[in-house]
Structure 1
Amino acid sequence: MSRGTKLSLDIGASWNEGWSLEEDRKASAAEILTPPEHRLVFQREKRKGKIVTLVGPFSLVGDEAQKTLSILKKSLACGGAYKEGWMEFQGDIAPQLRAQLEKLSYRFKK
């Protein structure tokens, strides 16, 4: 192979309904929710001695999740990331984060 070309290996084909890839089936199974339909929870973890606040699970498209994350990071003046449906924020900022998410019309579990 020459440099710059990628080798495409599609592993995980399904035999049930003809030829289809498993990742296509997963993408269609993911349900996209509007902000009021979300039921979010908070988790607090320590990573390398620092506190991290997790909020999720979010059911958003990648671009929408990144826009929401960007808005929250700017309003809270902290760093963060979006991984596997959960937003991670640096620091113990659950009360401030909850207030900002309620402004964006997200809901929480009791």
Structure 2
Amino acid sequence: MSRGKKLDIFIGADFNDSWAEVQTPRKTKISNEILEPSKHFLKFQREKRRGKIVTLVGEFQLPKEEANAVVKLLKKRLGCGGSYKNNWMEFQGELQDKLRELLKNEGFRFKNNK
């Protein structure tokens, strides 16, 4: 590093008046609007966590109790683990084809990307 250059480092505090909270925007918007299953347009995502594949389905606009009931039903039918977080359902394993069929039977719709 050469002399005379000033480093611009922002740590998240303002020393002039007081501490300032750093606001970071959320990646996804959480909607308070509740939709019926036929008005959902779900999409799939596949992630690797700790070397294992996780299938994500979302984004759901359902009450939390109803979404947890759907997750419980799907876990039972698929014989796998899963959860409901941030309006997305997470399932252990690569289950896109099976999930698509089960959710269509429940009345949900999907975007056309495969």
Secondary structure of 1:65's aligned partner:
helix
The C-alpha deviation readout for 1:8-41, integer Å capped at 9, x for no partner, is xxxxxxxxxxxxxxxxxxx9x6100000000000
Give the unaligned 5+ runs of structure 2: 1-29
Distance 2:57 2:64 in 1: 16
Superposition RMSD in Å: 1.2
Which residue, 26, 48, 51 being the options, matches 1:49? 51
How many residue pairs end up in the alignment? Answer: 83
Letter in 1 for 2:73: I
Which position in structure 2 is the counterpart of 1:40? 42
Which position in structure 1 is the counterpart of 2:95? 93
Which position in structure 1 is the counterpart of 2:84? 82
Superposed displacement of residue 89, structure 1:
0.1
- How does the TM-score come out when normalised to structure 2? 0.71
Matches within 5 A, 1:1-110: 30-110=32-112
Which has the larger share of helix? 1
Larger radius of gyration: 2
Letter in 2 for 1:64: E
Distance 2:88 2:94 in 1: 16
Identity, in percent, stands at: 54
The C-alpha deviation readout for 1:44-98, integer Å capped at 9, x for no partner, is 0000000000000000101000100001000110000000000000000100010
Give the unaligned 5+ runs of structure 1: 1-26
Secondary structure of 1:59's aligned partner:
coil
Distance 1:96 1:84 in 2: 22
